[in-house]
Amino acid sequence: MGSSFTDFLGVTAPDLLPGRRPIPQLPMGDIPHGTTIVSVTYDGGVLMGGDRRATMGNLISSRDIEKVYPADSYSVIGIAGAAGIAIEMVRLYQVELEHYEKIEGLTLSLDGKANRLAAMIRGNLGAAMQGLAVVPLFAGFDLDAAPGTSPGRIFSYDITGGNYEERGYAAVGSGSLFAKNSLKKTWRNGLPADAAVRTVVESLYDAADDDSATGGPDPVRRLYPIVYRVDGEGAVRLTDAEVAAVADGIVTDRAQADRENMNREA
pLDDT digits (tens), the chain, 266 positions: 567 766 665 666 666 566 555 555 545 556 677 789 999 999 999 999 999 998 888 888 889 999 999 999 999 999 998 888 888 889 999 998 998 888 888 889 999 999 999 998 888 777 777 667 888 999 999 999 888 888 999 999 998 989 999 999 999 999 999 999 999 999 999 999 999 999 999 999 999 999 999 999 898 899 999 999 999 999 999 999 999 999 999 999 888 887 887 765 54
Sheet holding 45-50: strands in order across? 169-172, 37-42, 45-50, 226-231, 234-237
User: Which of 19, 50, 13 shows the shortest CA–CA distance to 33?
Assistant: 50
Residue positions annotated with a catalytic role: 35
Specify the pTM: 0.86
Amino acid (1-letter code) at residue 211: D
The amino acid that residue 168 corresponds to is G
